[in-house]
Amino acid sequence: MELKQIRIGSDNFSYIIYSKKNNLAAIVDPGFEPEKTIKFIINNNLTLIYIIITHHHSDHSYGLNSVKKYYPKVKVIASKEDEEKIDVDIDIFVNDGDKLKIDEINLEFILTPGHTPGGICIIVDDKVILTGDTLFIGDCGRTDLPGGDLHIMYYTLKNKIMTLSDSLIVYPGHDYGDKPYDILGNLKPNLMILIDDIRKSL
């Protein structure tokens, strides 16, 4: 499994998950500056088969149309909740625990509402988790935007994120931390404090 983290806009990340076996690839969150992501695909001779949207916010989906113009056969993957909020047809709706393969790479989707109702995280080969705006390095996503819900975020963090393996490497949707990625085990102590603070405020 290969993973490329691409910094876009002021502090967002797009990702490319790809296999060197048959050069198949997926983009996660084609937000701003989609040309950067497309350039990587072209330069590495990859065939783009999926675009995965962690949630509908424009800084994660702005480049969707541009990428689809280059790759009209690509399949768009998102949660059912985001169907009306993304102006491109979604080809594959993911449910909690759904799995998908890119060559030998195993993807597992988990629904992680809270920042938005349709937020998802993607676990890759049980080694990496792409967390969108659910979890950053040192913080979680805000819940004060339309559709955000602190109560639901609490359950997502406590019952889903905290139960995942410490060894997973967290790749967030924004570069908000002191490093661009980290293992979940390093983030859990602060996350426990954050969860407790949320519980007290509910």
Longest C-alpha distance within the chain, in Å? 51
175 in contact with Fe ion (CB under 5 A):
no
Between 37 and 112, name the residue whose CB sits nearer to Fe ion: 112
Q: Which H or E run contains 123?
A: strand 120-124
Q: Does 57 bind Fe ion (CB under 5 A)?
A: yes
Q: Between 57 and 68, name the residue whose CB sits nearer to Fe ion.
A: 57
Q: Whole-number minimum distance, CB 57 to Fe ion, in Å?
A: 4
133 binds Fe ion (CB under 5 A): yes
**Minimum CB separation from Fe ion for residue 66, in Å?**
19
Closest separation in Å from C-beta 115 to Fe ion? 6
Give the CA distances from residue 33 to residues 9, 26, 115, 175, in Å, rounded to whole numbers and listed in that order: 7, 17, 23, 16
Buried b (16+ CB within 10 A) or exposed e, 141-175: bebeeebbbeebbbebbbebbeebeeebbbbbbbb
Shortest Å, Cβ 173 to Fe ion: 7
Q: What residue ranges bind Fe ion (CB under 5 A)?
A: 57, 133
